[in-house]
Amino acid sequence: MGSATPLTLAEASDSDLLARHVAGDDHAFGELFRRHKDRMWAVALRTCRDPEIAADAVQDGFISAFRRAGSFRGESAVTTWLHRIIVNACLDRLRRIRPTTQLPEYDLSDPRDHHASTEVRLDIEEAMARLPDGQRAALVLVDMHGVPVAEAAAILGVAEGTIKSRCARGRAALAEHLGLRTTERTREPDAGPETS
């Protein structure tokens, strides 16, 4: 018997788990799913803006990853590969739906939730809903999840410059929408969006 014992599933790296799955380990992909399902769900929910569509996209994405695991070449992190699959599943679902879905309803009955912060959150969600899918996906990854531009570019399959451009345009559109909302409420015509 060799001195090195195989790593348990919990100790194995993501790429080891994927390799084990491809080699026929029935439990390896389950561990990969357990590790990353919450983050993938958060990305899907912010990209799709609808819990049912996001749930379907996450399911589609993980089924696709399960089936396509043998095509993973190790050129990026497993999480980057998973992000790409999940975001693409979201965008596919959104393209099929096209009539814009309503914003999800939230339970606003929590007494700790201040009216002003709830209003701002809903304003931001409404503004995000108006963005083109590509801009929204870039902003979700870069601004909301802190994914580096290079990794976001790999996830979405576009150049880094495209990610930067989509983020800049998306931020400008958000600022304009939120600025217009503020102007309407406060009736201050010279309160335009800030330039930074």
Class of domain 12-99: mainly alpha
Higher pLDDT, 129 or 102: 129
Whether the pLDDT of residue 99 is over 50: the answer is no
Give residue 69's pLDDT. Answer: 92
Whether the pLDDT of residue 151 is over 90: the answer is no
Give residue 190's pLDDT. Answer: 43
Give residue 40's pLDDT. Answer: 94
For the whole model, what pTM was predicted? 0.61
Tell me the per-residue pLDDT of 118-144, one tens digit each, with 9 for 90 and over.
565 666 677 777 888 888 888 888 888
Q: Any idea which fold 112-196 has?
A: Arc Repressor Mutant, subunit A (1.10.10)
CA atoms of 125 and 149, how far apart (whole Å): 22
CA 112 from centroid of its chain's CA atoms? 27
Question: What is the arithmetic mean of pLDDT over 26-50?
Answer: 91
108 pLDDT band, cuts 50/70/90, is: very low
